[in-house]
Structure 1
Amino acid sequence: MWHWLRFLRRDQPLSVYFFAVPRLSLEIMGYWPIGEKLPTRAIVHFVILFIGVVTELHAGIAFLQKAQITMALETLCPAGTSAVTLLKMLLMLRYRRDLANIWLRLRHMIFYGGLDRRQQRTIMHEHSVMAARINFWPLSTGFFTCTTYNLKPLLIALVLYLRNPKQELLWNTPFNMTMPELLLGSPFFPLTYAFIAYTGYVTIFMFGGCDGFYFEFCAHISSLFQSLQEELRATFQPYKGYLKLTPNQCVLLELQLRDIIIRQNAIFALTSFFRKRYAIITLAHFVSAGLVIGFSICNLLTVGNSSLGALLYVAYTVAALSQLLVYCYGGTLVAESSVELSRVAATCSWTLCAPRQRRIILLLILRSQRAPTMAVPFFSPSLSTFASILQTSGSIIALAKSFQ
C-alpha cells in the first residue's frame, strides 16, 4: 500500500512525483492519456456513471415534483457532481492526444531542458512534492465523503437494529437513484447497493485525476518560470562588480538572454495550448462546485440535530472547496511566477549592458508582465476568486441563520 503512496514522502526521485496522483487516478479509471489504445475499463466506467447520473437526476426531479425539497437537494447535490464528471470524461477522450502531447512536452522541459543547476533541481523537487501532496488532499476528502455516503445507510440500519432487534429494518441505497423494484429486493439488493456505491468512487477518482492533471501542470509551469529566474540571476552573477561589459561579454550575454526568452516563449505557448483544452472543464467545474456548495449549505442548515447528516454535508462542502482551491491556487502560481520573472530581470545589473542588450531585457520584462493566465469566460481562477467564494458562502450561511 505504501508503495503506491510513496509520493507523499520528500525523499523520492523527481520521477516518482511527476503527475503521481492524476496518473494513479486516471489509470484506475482508464483515462490516462498516454498510450495508443483506449482501455475497455474506460468505456465501462463511463457507462456505469451515465446510468448513475440518469437515475439520480430522475430521482431528484421526482422529489421536486412531490415538494420534498430536502430530499431533492440531497439527491441533486451528488447528481450535479456526477454529471460534470461525465463531461470531464468526454473531454478527456476528446483531447486525449493533446493532453498526451502536453504531458510529453512538459516532461521534456523538466527532465531534458538543461535545468542542471542545484537551485533549479531544488525548485523542481519542491514543486513536485507540493503538487503531489495538494492533489492527494481533494482526492482523500472526496474518498472520505463518498465513503460516508456509502456507509450512512448501513450505520442507520445498525443503530435501528441495536435499538430494537425485533423490528423490520428498512434498507436504503447510498445515493437516491430510481431503480426497478426487482433490483431493490432480494436477492439483487446487495448487487444494486454495490453498483450505486461504486458510481460514487468513479466520480471521485475522475475528479482526482482530471483536477490533479490541471494543478500538476500549473505547478510545473510555475517551477519552470522560477527556474528561468535562477537562470537569469546566474547569467548576471559573473559580472557582479563590473562597471561596464566588453563587446565580447555583451555578445555572450545576449546569447544567454535569447535562450531564456526562447524557453519563456515555449512555456507561454504550452500554457496557452493547455488552457484552451481545459477551458470547458474549468468553467463547468466552477459552476457545478458553486451549486454543490449552495446545496450542501442548504442541506446543512436543514438537517437539524442529525450529527451524521451534518458530518455528511460538512465533508461534501470541504471536498467541493478543496477542488476549487486546486484550480484557484494553480492559476495563481502560473500568473505570479511569470510576473516575478519581470521583477528579477528589472533588478539585474542591466545598466552594464549595451543598448542592444538593454532592449532585449526590456522586452523580457514587458513579456513577463503580461503573465499567462488560466482564465476562462467570466472569471480567472486565482486565490482572490477563492476568497470571494468563501466570503459569499459565509454571507449566505449568516443570512440563512438569521431567518431560523
Structure 2
Amino acid sequence: MVSWFRFLKRDQQLSVYFFAVPRLSLDIMGYWPGNPGDSLPRRSIVHFVILSIGVVTELHAGMLFLDQQQVTLALETLCPAGTSAVTLLKMFLMLHFRRDLSSMLNRLRSLLFDLKSERSDRRQIRVGHSVKAARINFWPLSTGFFTCTTYNLKPLLIALVLFLQDRLDGFVWFTPFNMTMPSVLMRSPFFPLTYIFIAYTGYVTIFMFGGCDGFYFEFCVHLSSLFEVLQAEIRSIFRPYKDHLELSPEEHYNLEQRMRDAIVRHNAIIDLARFFRDRYTIITLAHFVSAAMVIGFSMVNLLTAGGNTLGALLYVAYTVAALSQLLVYCYGGTLVAESSVELCRVIGSCPWQLFKPPQRRLVQLMILRSQRPVSMAVPFFSPSLATFAAILQTSGSIIALVKSFQ
C-alpha cells in the first residue's frame, strides 16, 4: 500500500512520478492506455456497465423528484448524476482513443527521456515538473474520494446517531445516492448488496475523474517541461558564442546543426500538443459544462441546507472537489501557454544574429511561431487561470444573488 504513494516523496526516480496518479486511477478501472498491443481488460467493460446502470437510475430518480416538485431532492440527485454522466462519456472516449493515447504517451516519453539532452539542469526541470504534477493530481483525487465517502457514510452516520439516541423507531434506511431501484432490491436480504453497489458507482466516478483529468494535467505539465528544457538547450547552444563578433566556418556549422535539431524538437512538441488537444476536446468541453452545473447546484444546495450540518459538509466537499477538478484543467492550459511563449523571449535574448542570412530566417520563423502561445483551447472555453478566476467571480455573484432572495 505504501509503495502506491511513493510519488508523494521527492527522492524517487523520475519514472516513479511519470503519470503516477493517472496510471494508478485508470489502471484500477482498466482504462490505462498501456502499450498499443495490449488487450482491453475485462474490468473496464464491467465498470462501464456498472456506471451506466448508476447514471440511468440516478437521472430517472432526479426526473421523478422534479415531477413531484421536490426541488431540493432533485438538485441533490441531479448533481452527482451529471458528474457520473460526464464520467461515462469520458470512459467511452478513453476507450475510443485508447491507441492514440498510447501513441502519445510513447512520443512524450521519447521526448522527455531523451538521453542526448540528459544534463543536470534539464533533469532538474523534469523532476520538478513531475513532482508537481503528481502532488497536484493527488489533490483532486483526494477531495473526490472524501466527497464520495461522505455520501456513502451519510446514511450510516445518521443511523448511528439515531441508535445512540434510542430513536430508531420508524427509521427508514436510504441509499448514498438517490437511484430508482426495484423494490425487491431495497428490502432484506438484498438491501446491503444494493447499498454496496450504489456506493461503488460513486468510487468508479471518482477514480475515472482522477485518472482522466489527471492524465490531461500531467500531459500539460510535461509539455511545459519540454518547452522549458528546450529553452535551456537554446541557452546552452548560444552560451559559448555570447562574446563572439563572428563565427568560424566550423563554429557556424556546429551552431547551425544544433539549432536545426532544436527547431525540429520545437515542431515535434507543438505537433504533439495539437494532437493531444484534438483528442481531449470533447472531454474538456464536457468537463467545463458539467463543472459549471455541479458548482451551481452545490452552491444552491449549500445555501438551502440550513442547519443541516452534515448536509452542509457534503455540499462544501462537493464544491471543493468540483473546483479542484476544474483547476487542474485551467492550470495545465496556463502552464503550456506561458512556457511556449517564454521560448520566444529566450531566443530573442540569444546572439542569433551571428548566423548568416539563410539561417537567420529559420530562427526568425521559430521566433514568430513561438510568439503565438500553444493553446489548449476548445470551443467556447480556453483552459487558463484567468478562466478559473472568472468562474469563481461568477460563482460569487450567484451566491450573492441567491442570498438576496432568502
User: What TM-score results when the alignment is normalised by the length of structure 1?
Assistant: 0.98
| Residue of structure 2 equivalent to 1:309 | 311
Instruction: Specify which of 205, 214, 217 is matched with residue 215 of structure 1.
Output: 217
| Residue of structure 2 equivalent to 1:125 | 127
Secondary structure of the equivalent of 1:114?
helix
Matched, 1:34 2:34: yes
Instruction: Check 1:278–1:256 CA distance in 2 against 1; reply closer, same or farther (3 A cut).
Output: same
Matched, 1:172 2:158: no
1:195-225 deviation per Cα after TM superposition (whole angstroms, max 9, x unaligned)? 0000000000000111111111100010000
Letter in 1 for 2:397: S
| Residue of structure 2 equivalent to 1:157 | 159
**Alpha-carbon separation, structure 1, partners of 2:371 and 2:202:** 43
Matched, 1:86 2:92: no
**Alpha-carbon separation, structure 1, partners of 2:116 and 2:54:** 48
Gaps of 5+ in 2: none
Secondary structure of the equivalent of 1:4?
helix
Deviation at 1:357, TM superposition (A): 3.0
| Residue of structure 2 equivalent to 1:19 | 19
Q: Runs of at least 4 residues of structure 1 off by over 6 A? A: none
**Alpha-carbon separation, structure 2, partners of 1:83 and 1:114:** 45
Instruction: Specify which of 365, 372, 375 is matched with residue 363 of structure 1.
Output: 365
Instruction: Specify which of 277, 281, 297 is matched with residue 279 of structure 2.
Output: 277
Instruction: Check 1:235–1:37 CA distance in 2 against 1; reply closer, same or farther (3 A cut).
Output: same
| Residue of structure 1 equivalent to 2:375 | 373
Equivalences for 1:213-362 in 2 at 5 Å? 213-362=215-364
Contact 1:161 1:167 in 2 (8 A): no
Secondary structure of the equivalent of 2:375?
coil
Deviation at 1:148, TM superposition (A): 0.3
Instruction: Check 1:166–1:300 CA distance in 2 against 1; reply closer, same or farther (3 A cut).
Output: closer
User: What TM-score results when the alignment is normalised by the length of structure 2?
Assistant: 0.98
**Alpha-carbon separation, structure 1, partners of 2:185 and 2:380:** 44
Letter in 2 for 1:75: T
Deviation at 1:75, TM superposition (A): 0.1
| Residue of structure 1 equivalent to 2:65 | 63
| Residue of structure 1 equivalent to 2:199 | 197
**Alpha-carbon separation, structure 2, partners of 1:168 and 1:389:** 44
Instruction: Check 1:302–1:245 CA distance in 2 against 1; reply closer, same or farther (3 A cut).
Output: same
How big is the alpha-carbon RMSD for the aligned residues of Structure 1 and Structure 2? 1.1
**Alpha-carbon separation, structure 2, partners of 1:352 and 1:180:** 78
- What fraction of aligned residue pairs are identical, expressed as a percent? 71
Deviation at 1:165, TM superposition (A): 4.6
Instruction: Check 1:303–1:251 CA distance in 2 against 1; reply closer, same or farther (3 A cut).
Output: same
| Residue of structure 2 equivalent to 1:114 | 116
1:247-291 deviation per Cα after TM superposition (whole angstroms, max 9, x unaligned)? 332222111111000001001111111111100000001000100
**Alpha-carbon separation, structure 2, partners of 1:183 and 1:136:** 36
Secondary structure of the equivalent of 2:116?
coil
More moved, 365-374 vs 145-154: 365-374
Contact 2:159 2:168 in 1 (8 A): no
**Alpha-carbon separation, structure 1, partners of 2:381 and 2:61:** 33
Q: Report the count of equivalent residues.
A: 404
**Alpha-carbon separation, structure 2, partners of 1:111 and 1:354:** 33
Deviation at 1:398, TM superposition (A): 1.3
Contact 2:162 2:168 in 1 (8 A): no
Secondary structure of the equivalent of 1:173?
coil
**Alpha-carbon separation, structure 2, partners of 1:11 and 1:352:** 42
**Alpha-carbon separation, structure 2, partners of 1:370 and 1:303:** 47
Letter in 1 for 2:60: H
Deviation at 1:296, TM superposition (A): 0.2
